[in-house]
Structures are given as structure tokens and as C-alpha cells.
Amino acid sequence: MRPPEVPAVEVDAIPADAVLLDVREDDEWAAGHIAGATHVPMNSVPGKLQHDPGPLTPDAPIVVLCKAGGRSAQVTGWLRQQGYDAVNMSGGMLAWARAHRPMEADDGGPARVL
């Protein structure tokens, strides 16, 4: 089953006021992530929105990302069905890294995309 087409944004066109939602797993996040992004693993998104949404509100522009864009496209589609202003980050963290954008790792060492 193919996920529905969802709107996407390129790394160099992410709005400055967007909430970055990283839906990768904990080990992927720990290895390298965007500073200031919100981390909620894909399968935890519905519970997070129900119990403690934080900056993830329907009126906030949300850019969803994962490693390459597949998981984030699914989450983006689901968020849009729930009334959120969400778009998928084209190419995910692989595109972010290729664009030489800053990343950080939880252990303070060199960040990498898992």
C-alpha cells in the first residue's frame, strides 16, 4: 500500500517558524538530530498529541522528518487528516546531511544519520 501524496518542503525552504517533528526511533535520534527539533517516534505520535502535545498544535506549521522521507510522509498524511498544518521534509535527514546542515548527537560526538 502506497501512502497518499502529501505536501513536501525541501531542506532549504523550511519556514523559520516551523516546528520540526523528528519521527525516527530513539537510536536514530541519539546518533544525530537537528537541534531544537521535537522527537516523537512514529508510533508514539497519536499518544503524544492526546496527552502532551507541546508545540505540536493544529495552528503551528509542522515539518515532519525521518531518515529518508517514508515514515514522515505517513505521519504527515495522518496529521493532515487530523487537521494539522503538516508537510513532509523531502529526503529526510539524509537530505539534511547532504546539505551540510548542522546536526548534534546525544553523546556530544560527531553526529551521523542512522
List, by residue number, the catalytic residues.
Answer: 66
Amino acid identity of residue 29, one-letter, is: W
3-state secondary structure 42-105: HHHHHHHHHHCCCCCCCCCEEEEECCCCHHHHHHHHHHHHCCCEEEEECCHHHHHHHCCCCCEC
Query: For residues 113 and 31, is the Cβ–Cβ distance under 8 A?
Result: yes
